[in-house]
């Protein structure tokens, strides 16, 4: 264990969205580091929370079921915590377009209440907020750095910008020690699989395992970057213990960009279930919100903390397919 991460030993840590994909891996890692972990999760059926995600640590964490839109429980829960990893959110871009108000309530209104709760009840807390490269919209240059203009192309992007801005503003004005991580496509075990509205990678994994073909729109050459969930967790820990991270936003990227068609082929190869990777013309309603190739630079994060993504896409996907082969039944419905 690095000296920095020893700070989590005995620390009180709150993880919102802690039954979800990234939150559950983070909670497990924190338990291993000796932290006293409280998970907050709403277990909204359509979202990513799943009790199976904490099967290994259920007796070593406190699980508090509540919705971050409930300011009363949040006000109590932030008290006395040393760290807050703030991962609860509405993360489906598709859903955000169909129901912008729910996205706004969770990703902005609840965030303001949470920050106000910290300001009033625990101003010394250290917060790491889960934001998204979605905030950049259509890239004006590649790789996308943190200084790239924020011109979101969907409701979720608008609201994440506001949620992040509130965190950084509360640092600047009220001294709350908050950092934002802009995550790219993050993947691995514990991804929600019961529907495909939280990102194409879940659709790829599930369909490949089922032996179905994978369809990529256009010619499939659009580049994306991918972060394996264990690497993502290390980024959260690294910024949480770094005093120069407060008040700033950092991209969390992957090893190198890969085309969507390549990803689809890799999934089919690793799944070994007989499906093919194909291309198809753009449906007009999808093309309108497509952003072409996009991948981020994480140089700012590496320079500050030394963090680097360690798990290759092939290795990460292999682990992911192994997980769903063994435990898929807990995720399909």
Our finding on whether 112 is near a second copy (CB under 8 A) is yes
Cβ at position 165, least distance to a second copy in Å: 4
The binder of a second copy chosen from 19, 33, 104, 235 (CB under 8 A): 104
Among 43, 63, 142, 150, interactor with a second copy by CB under 8 A: 150
Binder among 21, 47, 85, 166 for a second copy (CB under 8 A)? 166
Judged by CB under 8 A, which of 48, 89, 152, 189 binds a second copy? Answer: 152
Interface residue with a second copy, options 51, 289, 291, 318 (CB under 8 A) = 289
Determine the Cα–Cα distance for residues 166 and 160; give it in Å rounded to an integer: 10
CA 106 and chain centroid, separation: 15
- Residue of 36, 154, 231, 234 interacting with a second copy (CB under 8 A): 154
Verify binding: residue 161, a second copy, rule CB under 8 A. yes
What CA–CA distance (Å, rounded) separates 155 from 99?
Answer: 9
Residue 147: how many other CB atoms lie within 10 Å? 8
| Cβ proximity to a second copy, 80 vs 175, nearer residue | 175
The smaller minimum CB distance to a second copy, of residues 71 and 199, is found at 71
Part in contact with a second copy (CB under 8 A); list of ranges 29-37, 74-82, 93-101, 204-212: 93-101
286 interacts with a second copy by CB under 8 A: no
Sign of CA dihedral 310, 315, 319, 321: positive
Separation between Cα atoms, residue 37 and residue 189, nearest integer Å: 21
Q: Among residues 6 and 140, whose Cβ is nearest to a second copy?
A: 140
Alpha carbon distances (Å) from 199 to 73, 80, 153, 296: 30, 35, 15, 17
Determine if 155 is a binding residue for a second copy (CB under 8 A): yes
Determine which residue in the list 10, 149, 274, 306 makes contact with a second copy, applying CB under 8 A.
149
User: Site for a second copy (CB under 8 A): which residue of 108, 181, 214, 233?
Assistant: 108
Identify which of residues 39 and 155 has a Cβ nearer to a second copy in the complex: 155
The residues that bridge with 82 in the sheet, in sequence order, are none
- Helix ranges (H only) for the chain are 21-32, 71-77, 93-98, 100-104, 110-121, 155-174, 200-209, 229-240, 260-271, 284-287, 299-305, 313-327
Cα-to-chain-centroid distance, residue 52: 18
51/162 with CB nearer a second copy:
162
HEC readout, 126-188 = EEEEEEEHHHHECCCCCCECCCCCCECCCHHHHHHHHHHHHHHHHHHHHCCEEEEEEECEEEC
Binding-site size, a second copy (CB under 8 A): 27
Residue with tokens 């680097």: 308
Contacts of residue 165, defined as CB under 8 A and 6 or more positions apart, other chains included, come to: none
**The residue to which tokens 């699980």 are assigned:** 63
Least Å from the CB of residue 298 to a second copy: 20
Binding site for a second copy (CB under 8 A): 97, 100-101, 104, 108-109, 112-113, 116, 147, 149-150, 152-155, 158-159, 161-162, 165-166, 169, 172-173, 288-289
């Amino acid at each position: 264990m690095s000296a920095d991460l020893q700070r989590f030993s005995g620390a009180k840590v709150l993880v919102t969205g802690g039954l979800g994909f990234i939150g559950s891996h983070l909670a497990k890692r924190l338990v291993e580091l000796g932290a006293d972990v409280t998970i907050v999760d709403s277990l909204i059926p359509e979202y990513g929370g799943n009790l199976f995600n904490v099967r290994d640590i259920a007796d070593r964490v406190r699980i508090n079921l509540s919705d971050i839109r409930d300011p009363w429980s949040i006000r109590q829960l932030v008290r006395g915590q040393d760290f807050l990893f703030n991962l609860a959110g509405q993360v489906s871009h598709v859903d955000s377009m169909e129901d912008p108000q729910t996205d706004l309530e969770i990703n902005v209104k609840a965030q303001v209440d949470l920050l106000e709760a910290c300001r009033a009840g625990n101003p010394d807390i250290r917060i790491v907020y889960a934001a998204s490269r979605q905030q950049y919209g259509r890239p004006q240059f590649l790789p996308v750095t943190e200084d790239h203009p924020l011109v979101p192309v969907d409701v979720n992007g608008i609201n994440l910008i506001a949620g992040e801005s509130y965190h950084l503003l509360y640092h600047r004005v009220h001294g709350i020690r908050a950092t934002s991580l802009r995550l790219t496509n993050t993947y691995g075990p514990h991804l929600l699989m019961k529907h495909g509205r939280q990102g194409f990678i879940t659709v790829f994994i599930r369909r490949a395992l089922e032996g179905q073909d994978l369809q990529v729109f256009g010619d499939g050459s659009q580049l994306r970057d991918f972060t394996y969930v264990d690497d993502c967790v290390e980024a959260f820990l690294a910024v949480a213990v770094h005093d120069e991270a407060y008040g700033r936003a950092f991209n969390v990227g992957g090893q190198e960009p890969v085309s969507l068609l390549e990803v689809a082929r890799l999934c089919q190869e690793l799944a070994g279930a007989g499906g093919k990777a194909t291309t198809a013309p753009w449906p007009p309603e999808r093309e309108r919100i497509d952003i072409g190739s996009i991948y981020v630079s994480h140089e700012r994060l590496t320079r500050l903390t030394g963090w680097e993504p360690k798990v290759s896409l092939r290795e990460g996907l292999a682990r992911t397919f192994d997980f769903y082969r063994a435990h898929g039944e807990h995720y399909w419905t």
